[in-house]
Amino acid sequence: MNFPDELIESDAIGVKKAAQRKLFHELGINNTFVPLNRIHFLGRVLYTAPNEPCTQTAFAEHEVDYILVSVLDPVATRNLADTDLMKLNPDEVSDARWMAFSDFNYMKCSPRDHISTSKTSDSDFCRSSITPWLRGLLARGLLQKLFSWAEASCGNHLQERFLTEDQSWDRTKIIHLSSEDVQ
């Protein structure tokens, strides 16, 4: 389904508007918490992965996804519990959580089939419970790069560091994630 405003290519405005719509539709996150000027386009990835759970091998995901990042305004979200900020649509999302990069780094270093970590609020967390494209970003080091960009954008560092992080993203190329990356 296309909406005219979501077809605007300049400065990835259309993609950002689509992201706002999907954030609300899937996660229940209101646009006031993620305004367009706080959504940043960093790049695109192409990946193919079998549908999960893998009960029907005839179906697979094969898509180009945009890498967008938004650092939430701490003042606007300070007094909100996760349940106030996110209201998951069960037809779209089975689970969502806020995680620090160190949680992902721990996952990368742990056995693939079972991960137990005290850093997450739940007791056990499996690598297979994150989406294939997110596993691909993790495997290729792009998730760490994204977190570095977000940290540098918060203004706690020199502008030079942010410019270096920002220029490291080639927004003109599509990054191809291999089948090994997304497993």
Check if the beta carbon of residue 177 is closer than 8 Å to that of residue 136.
yes
User: What is the reported pLDDT for 118?
Assistant: 39
Residue at 59 is within a domain: yes
Give how many domains the chain has, as a whole number.
1
Question: Is it the case that residue 11 has pLDDT exceeding 50?
Answer: yes
Q: In a 10 Å sphere around its CB, with 0-12 CB exposed, 13-18 middle and 19+ buried, how is residue 145 labelled?
A: middle
Residue at 181 is within a domain: no
User: What is the reported pLDDT for 164?
Assistant: 92
- Nearest one of 170, 164, 147, 166 to 44, comparing CA atoms: 170
User: What is the reported pLDDT for 59?
Assistant: 83
Taking only the tens place, the pLDDT of each residue in 12-67 is 999 999 999 999 999 999 998 999 999 999 999 999 988 776 666 778 889 999 99
Residue at 182 is within a domain: no
Interatomic CA distance for residues 179 and 110, integer angstroms: 20
Question: Is it the case that residue 125 has pLDDT exceeding 70?
Answer: no
Question: Is it the case that residue 122 has pLDDT exceeding 60?
Answer: no
User: What is the reported pLDDT for 37?
Assistant: 93
User: What is the reported pLDDT for 139?
Assistant: 87
Mean pLDDT of the chain: 83
In the three-class reduction of DSSP (H, G, I as helix; E, B as strand; rest coil), residue 64 is classed as strand
Check if the beta carbon of residue 50 is closer than 8 Å to that of residue 79.
no
Residue at 16 is within a domain: yes
Which tops the pLDDT comparison, 113 or 36? 36
pTM, to two decimals: 0.81
Question: Is it the case that residue 83 has pLDDT exceeding 80?
Answer: no
| Segments forming the whole domain that contains residue 24 | 4-90+98-176
User: What is the reported pLDDT for 106?
Assistant: 63
Residue at 150 is within a domain: yes
User: What is the reported pLDDT for 124?
Assistant: 46
Taking only the tens place, the pLDDT of each residue in 139-159 is 899 999 999 999 898 876 678
Residue at 21 is within a domain: yes
